[in-house]
Amino acid sequence: EVVLTQSPVILSLSPGERATLSCRASQSIASYLVWYQQKPGQAPRLLIYDASNRATGIPARFSGSGSGTDFTLTISSLEPEDFAVYYCQQRTNWPLTFGGGTKVEIK
Amino acid sequence: QVQLVESGGGVVQPGRSLRLSCAASGFTFSNYGVHWVRQAPGKGLEWVAVIMSDGKSKFYVDSVEGRFTISRDNSKSTLYLQMNDLRAEDSALYFCARDRGASALYCDYWGQGTLVTVSS
């Protein structure tokens, strides 16, 4: 099983600041890494697929990078609606696995 | 627009069974794989199972293999999850989610979930 480790667990930032979230895989997953955003009481929303491709309707302030075992989700300038929990997911090996999540909270 | 609506959750005793349903609309259901993903209260996401668009290929997380069965009825645009021998650790909000393609193995649309509580 591919274990995904997200860091930090909690990221405290102010609106307008840059957020950098990390996802590390226990083995190489090429570029088959996906990012989701989840707000309280809501279903997850697809943000980024295959490490760096923004999903339909996702603002340009969200970007993804990485390959192999190290991946990064960057939010260039936090908007109030961006404070949420972010999960990564790999789609290379069975079972599909998610990281434990990073909560981006208002400082 | 794409909609996924789960139903069938509830409170059930350990060892009993439950069947979840997910009614899909707004897209050609038979062209897409569909997943179940669960989330225990206050916890992260856990992928449970997927059924590909052909209805034949199915995959499960180890912890539910042999107890849960994923199936689909394309004529009704409905996904199912038959859950047998339920355990306390199966308690979670169960999301139905559409695969981005026939077998892309990630999800672009999600339902709002149905809550399963396993308790005596």
Q: Is B94 on the interface with A (CB under 8 A)?
A: no
User: C-alpha angle B53/B54/B59, rounded to 5°?
Assistant: 75
* Cis ω for the linkage preceding A8 (within 30 of 0): yes
Interface contact B113-A43, CB threshold 8 A: yes
Which residue in A92, A96, A97, A102 has the most chain B C-beta atoms within 10 A of its own C-beta, making it the best mutation to test that interface? A96
pLDDT tens digits along B80-96: 999 999 999 999 999 99
DSSP per residue, chain B: --EEEEE--EEE-TT--EEEEEEEESS-GGGS-EEEEEE-TTS-EEEEEEE-TTSS-EEE-GGGTTTEEEEEETTTTEEEEEE-S--GGG-EEEEEEEESSSS-SSEEEE---EEEEE--
pLDDT at B102: 81
What is the per-residue pLDDT for B101? 85
pLDDT at B103 over 90: no
pLDDT in tens, B25-80: 999 999 999 999 999 999 999 999 999 998 999 999 999 999 999 999 999 999 99
Going from the first residue of chain A to its last (107 residues), give the mean pLDDT of each consecutive group of 10, the final group possibly shorter.
97 98 97 97 97 97 98 97 98 96 96
Q: Which residue intervals of A1-107 are DSSP H helices? A: none
Q: What is the pLDDT of residue B107?
A: 97
Distance (Å, whole) CA B89 – CA B67: 13
Q: DSSP state, A4?
A: E
Angle at CA of residue A19, ends A91 and B41, nearest 5°? 60
* pLDDT at residue B21 in the model: 98
Length of chain B measured in residues = 120
CA distance B20 to A24: 33
pLDDT of res. A36 = 98
CA-based torsion, B101, B106, B111, B116: positive or negative: positive
Radius of gyration over every alpha carbon of chain B, rounded to an integer in angstroms = 13
In chain A, residues 21-80 whose CB comes closer than 8 Å to chain B? 32, 34, 36, 38, 42-46, 49, 55-56
